[in-house]
Amino acid sequence: MISSTKNPKIQWVLRLQKKSKDRYDEQVFAIEGVRLLEEARASDWKIRSIFYADTLSDRGMNLVNASLNTGTQIESVSPKVMSAISDTKNPQGILAVIEMRSLPVPDQLNFALILDQMRDPGNLGTILRSAAAAGAQVVYLSPGTVDAFSPKVLRAGMGAHFRLPIHNARWIDICSRIKSAELHAYLATSEGSDTYHDSDFQRPLILIIGGEAEGASQTAYQVADSQIKIPMPGGGESLNASVAAGILLFEIARQRETKK
């Protein structure tokens, strides 16, 4: 059992939890909790290491036992060490280090999402979860967006990372993909000329959602073919980014289901 936070393996995990550079340099990231590890296994992502404490539930121990003799490094740690490497106040007693994968973008692209300058980890993770559930085929993260593999984003995403292609991309590359797939670009903005429920979301499209503080970038406005808004009869300046994204993503899904 590892009982010291100065252990090199524990120091490695702490770096992965805190520094995006280390995650991308080594092409690995850390996840916490039974549910996320179940999602990673179900989606066949490679698990490099598992750290667990004796506080772990029977459901969690089943995951540990299932990972024996698979090439995954299994380490027992003290509750104190688990608390130190965890990014949560009440850790479940299990943490795993997963190898990064870049899920492929479909050749026939017709429903994509751009998150532009999204800096709040909770909002980003929640939007990724909604995008996966609504059937988005890919999410592009423009420069200035928080790391999708940071601990808070991963927790809020609830496993979306393992099923949804998520790509960091420069605007020049995003624009090239929009053009080649002939996607109509919708930008969500409170100044939009069209309401979302009057918009045609059955066509091949890409939805752009701007960040919480500054909204979408000037480049996003230049790329957009249409600007759409969500009416707010009760007033208010704007909606939370994840709430707005959820409304729009599921309106797209609704229109497409109606078309079938």
* Cα angle value 178/100/176 (rounded, 5°): 10
Tens place of pLDDT for every residue, the chain, 260 residues?
A: 999 999 999 999 999 999 999 999 999 999 999 999 999 999 999 999 999 999 999 999 999 999 999 999 999 999 999 999 999 989 999 999 999 999 999 999 999 999 999 999 999 999 999 999 999 999 999 999 999 999 999 999 999 999 999 999 999 999 999 999 999 999 998 876 788 888 999 999 999 999 877 789 999 999 999 999 988 877 766 788 999 999 999 999 999 988 76
Nearest alpha-carbon partner for 182 in 108, 113, 255, 116: 108
213, 258 contact by CB (below 8 A): no
Reported residue count of the chain is 260
| Distance, CA of 184 to CA of 219 (rounded, Å) | 15
Q: What topology does CATH give the domain 8-99? A: 60s Ribosomal Protein L30; Chain: A; (3.30.1330)
- In the chain, how many H helices and how many E strands? 10, 11
240, 123 contact by CB (below 8 A): yes
140, 147 contact by CB (below 8 A): no
| Distance, CA of 18 to CA of 96 (rounded, Å) | 15
| Distance, CA of 139 to CA of 152 (rounded, Å) | 18
Nearest alpha-carbon partner for 29 in 106, 93, 87, 92: 87
Q: Tokens 């020049």 appear where?
A: 172
Q: Within 10 A of 240 (CB to CB), how many other CB atoms are there?
A: 13
Q: What topology does CATH give the domain 111-259? A: Alpha/beta knot (3.40.1280)
Domain positions in the chain are 8-99, 111-259
